[in-house]
Structures are given as structure tokens and as C-alpha cells.
Structure 1
Amino acid sequence: MFVYEYKVNPKPQQITAINEAIRTSQFVRNKVLRYWMDHRGVGKTEMFRYNTQLRKEFKFVEELNSHACQSAVERVLKAVNRFYDNCKKQIPGKKGYPKFKKNTRSVEYKVSGWKLSDNKKYITFTDNKGIGTLKLIGTRDLNFYQLDQIKRVRIVRRADGYYVQFSVQLDPRDTVKPLIPSQKVVGIDVGIKYFLAESCGNIEPNPKFYRNGEKQLNRINRKKSKKYRKGKPQSHNYHKVRNRYALKHLKVSRQREEFVKRVALRLIKSNDFIAYEDLNVKGMVKNRHLAKSISDAGWSSFRCWLDYFGYKYGKITIGVSPHNTSQNCSKCGEKVQKSLSTRTHVCPHCNYVEDRDINAAINILQKGLSTVGHTESYKLGECDPLAPLEQSCGVTIGL
């Protein structure tokens, strides 16, 4: 499943209509969630029946396309099922009890409620919200795909404007030609000082996009706080500064996403086999001393793109256990205890000296090669490369 995204420039009345459609979708979701909370044990059928009742009861809900209302119900079902699954698996800590939404930024249509123009450069939303026709700004050509391949259409509101996303049912391997085997293998060790170190000795510097922009972010945030009026409607100047703050965060997140995508694609194209650490990033960010640096590095996003590109180009990506990869000597296999501050591996047993991260990358490669062919666990990481990118990795193919 591909997600193609296009920028749109709606007129003021269209912006009002889009925002109203988003609020209506949020209203349906929250009402259905409240219905589930008040009638514990109700299932999918009862939720969709309650959605039909809402459409009869509220005129503004009826104005929104019925499939868009159903998508809002499906979001509730997804949250409820995830909560039950976490309880059944006895995951430690919070189980993810469904919460009400107050700042929804998108509305999703299925196969109705919208219509593409003949040249597929314009989209018209045909429900009674009055959004009308929007011009799609982007380089991706939808003429290559049939209409029945487009399964979802989503309008997304971001700090820099509005976007329309198309979920196209397509196997990623059908869009590229097979690569010539490079006959190379590599193990990679992600870190904070370096973004990653390869077993062959290459080092990828850590760009630290958030750290570099943190000073400017804090300055804008202080201005926003000074203009905030507690218990009163916020001024126009407050919303201007708030939007500047959101734009800066959006820029940082896009920089990080493009960086990890570029590095992952380079590794996939230059190697036939990639081994990486199967890190528990969710647990690691609970360390308050390292949480900001780990999040800034974007390890989870990098891992998702690595698995996706590996599936797309027919390369093997293996996640291995990170246990003792930094402590063991890659030459003799003896364990050499070292703290995080020790950046050079010096083995007293065989006198092998190497950078700590490169030594770990070699150990990761050795583990990965010994794991090939085993089927006792899922070795492609947490992201399913066959699942829609928007669901599994939170990534979107750009304009």
C-alpha cells in the first residue's frame, strides 16, 4: 500500500468547510467511544448502528459522507482492539486505554464522497460539507493507477497548510527494477555520538536536527508563553507565534525523516544483507538522561525505512539481539566490560583495538549471519513491510 501526498491551496470558504469536516469526524469518533465506555462489551455491529443513529440525530453529521463517518468508527475499533490485545498479552505498564480526541487533524474518506477529474489533477469532494474542488500540487502522477486501486482519501491539516493523501493498493516490488547484487554484507550499530557505524568501518555522523534547532525552538516557545492568557480567548498574536512554533517543529521532523530515508536507501542499494540491533526503543526513551538524544536520532523511523526498502528491493534485513554486542570482542569473542563513556574497544586478551561502535557493528553482523534461515522469531523488526506505511511506520511518500 502506497500513500501519495499532494499539497492543496484551498480558498477561505473551503478551509472553513475542511475544518468543519474534521471536527465532525472527531465528534463521531468521540461519541462512539463514549457509547463503548457506557455500554462495555458492545461490538463492531453496535458501534456502526450507533453511528447510523448519530447521522439521523445530527444534521451536521449527516452532511459528512457516510464512509467518512465509518472511518471515524473504525478508528475507535482500532483503539479498542489494541487495548484488549495489550491486556491479553499482559504488557507491563499502561495498556493504552482509548482516549477522547480534541485536536484531530484529518478526515478520511473511503471509495465514495470524492471524485477525480479526467486528468487526475483535481479532486472534488461531493458530500454536503461544501469543500468543493481542490487542485493537487505534486509530481506524482495518478494516471498510472486505476480508480479501484485507490482505497482511501485523506485530508490532512498541518502547520504549513493542507494536504490530500491517496492510499493506493500496490506492491512496492512492482514499482522498481531488481538491483544487481552488490555481493556485500554489513552490520550496523546505531548510536548517539554517531548516527550509525558500519562493520566495514564507515561512520555516519549524527546531524542532531532537534539539538541544533532547540535554541530557536525555546526562544519561540518563550514568546508563545508570554502571549498566553489563562482562562481567556487567545489573541491573534498568540496564534501567530503558536503557528511559528509548530512550523519549526514540522521542519525538524521533516529533516530527520529525509535523513533516515536517505541513509536507509543507501545501505539497501549498496549491500545485499544488513544486520541491525533489535532495540527496544520504547523502553530506552524512558531513561530521562538519554530520551531526547534517542528521539532526535530517529532510530525507530530508520528501522522502518530499512525494512521497507529491504522488502522493496529484495534485500535481506535482520534484527538481532543487542545483548553484549558492545562488550564482546569481535576478534576473539571475550567479554570486555566498558562503560558508555569508553568509546574505544581495547581487548586485553588479543590486544585488538577498534572504535567501540565499529566493534559492535562487527558483532551484529556475525550474529545476523548466524541467524539467517532461522524462523523461530520475526526477524524483520517491528514494522511489517506489507502493511500500509501510514499505519506501520508513520511515513508518507512525499509530493
Structure 2
Amino acid sequence: MLVIEAKLKGSQNQYKVLDEMILTGQFIRNSCLRYWMDNKDVKRNDLQKLCSLLGKDANFPWAKKLNSQARLASADRAWQSIQRFYKNCRLKLPGKKAVRPRDDDSRKGTRTKRGYPKFKKFTRFLRNAAQTIEYKTTGYKLSPDRKKIEFKDGFKAGVF
């Protein structure tokens, strides 16, 4: 599998479109997590069906703009976090200590759940792995010299 990571150079407008793409991917992931939390016996296939439904839903027109494989990749990331949570529960791994106030106002670390999947939030000034969008095989075109990429999904981000 060939993985290409690069810093994109574009205009301010293009960066805004990229932010919308990332927000849409996070929306898909968070929707999958919410669906898993609200329903019983959810499988990976159910999350993939949810992606398809979100793309067709008139209430979320921006979800259709994102390439279908990118939507599925966001759902797969949600499924991986769910699987990691179940694996940690099976192995009885302790949760990470978090410093947060308890009822007695002490600041001692309290145990959290074993890697319970968290919703992703968008912070404009902090770029990290949680703020990526993953295109597998469609939705983009790479130039022959691999110096330029053109996104061809509904967002129309243009050439970087």
C-alpha cells in the first residue's frame, strides 16, 4: 500500500474548504459513535450503512459532498476505536488516570473508562492526527510527478 503524506500549499479559500472536509469527516465519525452508543449490537457493517444513509440524508447536505470512500474511512476509524475499547475491557486494562475534580473537591487522579471512544472536536489552531481526512482510491487525482493533487469530490477544493 502506497501512502503519501504532504503539506498542502493553497489559498485561504482552499484551506477553508479543507477545514470543511475535515469537519465533515469528524461529523461522520461522531455520528457513528453516537449510533453505537444509542443502539445495541452494532457491527461494522451497520456503521457503513449509516455512512450511506448520512450521504443521502437531506438534513445533512454537506455529508454528500464528501467522497464515499472518505466517509467509510471515517466510519472505520470510529469502529477501530470501538474495537480497541472492547479489547481493553477483555484484557482488563486499567483506564488512564485523569486529573479532574471529584465530589470532595480534591484534585486526585480518578480512573476513567478503559479507552472509551471519545467524540472528536475541531480546533482550528491545533492540527493533529484527529484532524485528518483519508482518501483511499477515489476522490482525488495525483499529478504524474506527484507534486500536485486535485480533489474531485463535492467540495471542489481545487489543485494543491
From the CA coordinates, give the structure whose radius of gyration is larger: 1
Shift in Å, 1:92: 2.5
Asked whether 1:105 is paired with 2:124, we answer no
Kindly, what percent of the aligned residue pairs are identical? 40
Rounded to whole Å, the distance in 1 between the matches of 2:13 and 2:135 is 20
User: Which of residues 65, 83, 95 in structure 1 aligns to 2:114?
Assistant: 95
Q: Please tell me the residue identity of whatever aligns with 2:114.
A: K
Q: Please tell me the residue identity of whatever aligns with 2:154.
A: N
For structure 2, the residue ranges without an aligned partner over 5 or more in a row are 96-112, 123-129
Shift in Å, 1:45: 1.1
Shift in Å, 1:8: 2.0
Rounded to whole Å, the distance in 2 between the matches of 1:6 and 1:42 is 35
Shift in Å, 1:16: 1.1
Asked whether 1:53 is paired with 2:72, we answer no
Q: Please tell me the residue identity of whatever aligns with 1:41.
A: D
Shift in Å, 1:7: 2.3
Shift in Å, 1:5: 3.1
**Equivalent residue runs for 1:43-82 within 5 Å:** 43-57=43-57, 58-82=60-84
Structure with more strand by fraction: 1
Q: In structure 2, what is the equivalent of residue 324 of structure 1? A: none
Shift in Å, 1:40: 2.5
For structure 1, the residue ranges without an aligned partner over 5 or more in a row are 135-399
> Structure 1 residues 4, 112: CA separation in 2 closer, same or farther (over 3 Å shift)?
closer
Shift in Å, 1:64: 0.5
Rounded to whole Å, the distance in 1 between the matches of 2:15 and 2:28 is 20
Alpha-carbon displacement from aligned partner over 1:74-126 (angstroms, at most 9, x marks no partner)? 01100000000011111123411111111342111111111111222211111
Rounded to whole Å, the distance in 2 between the matches of 1:113 and 1:2 is 16
Shift in Å, 1:72: 0.6
TM-score, normalised to structure 2's length? Answer: 0.78
Shift in Å, 1:30: 0.5
Describe the SS at the equivalent of 1:124: strand
Describe the SS at the equivalent of 2:133: strand
> Structure 1 residues 15, 77: CA separation in 2 closer, same or farther (over 3 Å shift)?
same
Alpha-carbon displacement from aligned partner over 1:29-82 (angstroms, at most 9, x marks no partner)? 101110000002110111111111111112110011001100110011000000
Describe the SS at the equivalent of 1:109: coil
Q: Please tell me the residue identity of whatever aligns with 1:34.
A: R
Q: In structure 2, what is the equivalent of residue 181 of structure 1? A: none
Count of aligned pairs between the two proteins: 134
> Structure 1 residues 35, 87: CA separation in 2 closer, same or farther (over 3 Å shift)?
same
Alpha-carbon displacement from aligned partner over 1:271-305 (angstroms, at most 9, x marks no partner)? xxxxxxxxxxxxxxxxxxxxxxxxxxxxxxxxxxx
**Equivalent residue runs for 1:1-399 within 5 Å:** 3-57=3-57, 58-93=60-95, 94-103=113-122, 104-134=130-160
> Structure 1 residues 48, 4: CA separation in 2 closer, same or farther (over 3 Å shift)?
closer
The CA RMSD measured in Å over matched residues stands at 1.5
Shift in Å, 1:2: 6.7
> Structure 1 residues 83, 129: CA separation in 2 closer, same or farther (over 3 Å shift)?
same
TM-score, normalised to structure 1's length? Answer: 0.32
Describe the SS at the equivalent of 1:8: coil
